[in-house]
Amino acid sequence: MTYSYTQISQYLRCPRSYRHRYLDGWREKETRAAMLFGRCFEKALAAYFLRQDSAAVLFKEWGAYRDAPLEHTNGDSWDRMAHQGVHLLEMLARHDRIRIRQPRRNLQVKLVRSLPNGNDFVAYIDAIGNLDDTRCVLDWKTTTSRYPEEPAGLLALDPQLICYSWMSGISDVAVVVFVRKRTPEIQYLQTSITEEQRREFGQLVEATVGQIEAGQFLPHSGIRFPQNGCVSCPHLGLCLGNQQLTDAKLIRKPGASDLDWLDLLDD
Ligand code: SF4
């Protein structure tokens, strides 16, 4: 069995949701504009580092969804998102803070690590390169609101960055946040992950895989305001026995054990 960060984090968020998704094959329908835009923008970023026309790539990729019935939030529209994307690509070029040598090797880097019992863990790292003068693991995010920077040190607790550091063995990690707000902004957030954090993450992965293989899928519903995880959970219709909600949000694909790492490119 091959595990990924998305699988582990989904199990930790709610084991029942993991079962719906990975054992029973209930996948969320891909209608969220923000998520699809994130994927298109990532392709444009790859083009930028390959010294290609990144704006043209963005329009080509995002253009495929121009007339699609997508769910837009925050007053977004296809046009507005396209223009924000171009603005952010121009800003990235102006700042010129990121260097990626041999981009064909160092973009979307696939890393695989063996786990006990013949299992594997796989991660696709957005990039390995330099932010200013520091070589680091780079993670891209597109979002509509700024990442919190206070209190100091918060970023070092980000489990996805810890995971990437654990997989790559590189301490320095950075998340480059492309903020699609009225005045677009790029945040370059950098931190260091300690050896102890990497070791603990490895223990967390092994413990979680053990629970999955033991068939423990009790729900962690999290129904208390304001952190109600069920409200944003795509599997809510299944847990409520609400067929209409299930049909609106989900599609069933048997044998659904693919890695779905692209789901990480979320708003
Ligand atoms: S709706 Fe709540 S209990 Fe059900 S799978 Fe989602 S998070 Fe878990």
Distance 19 CA to ligand 1 centre (A): 10
**Cα–Cα distance list, 210 to 49, 205, 213, 215 (Å):** 40, 8, 5, 9
Helix, strand or coil, per DSSP, at residue 230: coil
| Closest CA relative to residue 159, chosen from 118, 191, 187 | 191
Which residues have C-beta within 8 Å of that of residue 231, sequence separation ≥ 6? none
| Closest CA relative to residue 138, chosen from 126, 154, 146 | 126
Residue 14 CA: nearest ligand 1 atom is: 8
Residue that is written with structure tokens 């006990």 in the block: 116
pLDDT (tens digit, 9 = 90+) per residue, 119-149?
Answer: 999 999 999 999 999 999 999 999 999 998 8
Distance 16 CA to ligand 1 centre (A): 6
d(CA 131, CA 137): 9
Residue that is written with structure tokens 């413990």 in the block: 207
Strands (E), 20-144: 26-28, 98-99, 107-114, 120-131, 134-143
Q: What is the reported pLDDT for 73? A: 86
Helices (H), 96-157: 103-106
Q: What is the reported pLDDT for 267? A: 39
| Closest CA relative to residue 181, chosen from 267, 67, 96 | 267
Q: What is the reported pLDDT for 255? A: 57
| Helix or strand run (H / E) with residue 81 | helix 78-95
Low-confidence ranges of the chain (pLDDT < 70): 226, 255-267
Distance 22 CA to ligand 1 centre (A): 14
The residue whose CA is least distant from atom 7 of ligand 1 is 230
Q: What is the reported pLDDT for 176? A: 98
pLDDT (tens digit, 9 = 90+) per residue, 158-188?
Answer: 999 999 999 999 999 999 999 998 899 999 9
> Whole-structure pTM over 0.75, yes or no?
yes
d(CA 197, CA 204): 10
- Ligand 1 pocket test, pick from 28, 221, 227, 240 with the greatest ligand atom count within 8 Å of Cβ, gives 221
